[in-house]
Amino acid sequence: MIFSWLVLVILGLLMLASYLDLKYKAVPSVLLTAGIFVALMVNPENLLAGVICFVFALMIKDLISDMSGLNFGIADVKIFVIFGLLLHTPIFTNLMILIVIFLIFQFVYTVVWRWRVSKEAEMPFIPCLLAIYIAMMFIGGFA
């Protein structure tokens, strides 16, 4: 299986962001904004998918905050926009697969984190997004 250079660069970016999120609970905004910029320059035809992912991430952010009190930062929203910009055709099908994988991984990650790691209201979520990214890579959802 051969991945494009952009998919591998974003994988490296997400690995760095996951490390920073776990260690410092903060990710420099410029890293993820640069990721959005590069993904948009390479895949401008996926702008609509990026916007849909942005809206979905904002809805999830509000839902998670209102229902459970967990903090879902802007870095997580930016990563989801990158996911939308990288979707492979057929975009709508892969977008639905991405959303289903996100919902499953997010639920499992939250339950395991609360059960085994910490019960704090703040938890690093970028490692979960990294796992979603890797899953989408291997099923061929990203171009």
Long-range contacts at 110-118 (CB < 8 A, ≥ 24 apart): 110/68, 110/70
Query: Nearest to residue 105, comparing CAs of 86, 85, 133?
Result: 133
Cα-based angle 16, 42, 99 (whole degrees, multiple of 5): 65
Confidence band, pLDDT 50/70/90 cuts, at residue 61: confident
Residue 119 is predicted with a pLDDT of 78
State the average pLDDT over residues 55-59. 93
Instruction: Identify the top-confidence range among 57-66, 110-119, 126-135.
Output: 126-135
State the average pLDDT over residues 50-71. 85
The residue among 78 and 90 whose pLDDT is bigger is 78
Residue 2 is predicted with a pLDDT of 62
Residue 97 is predicted with a pLDDT of 95
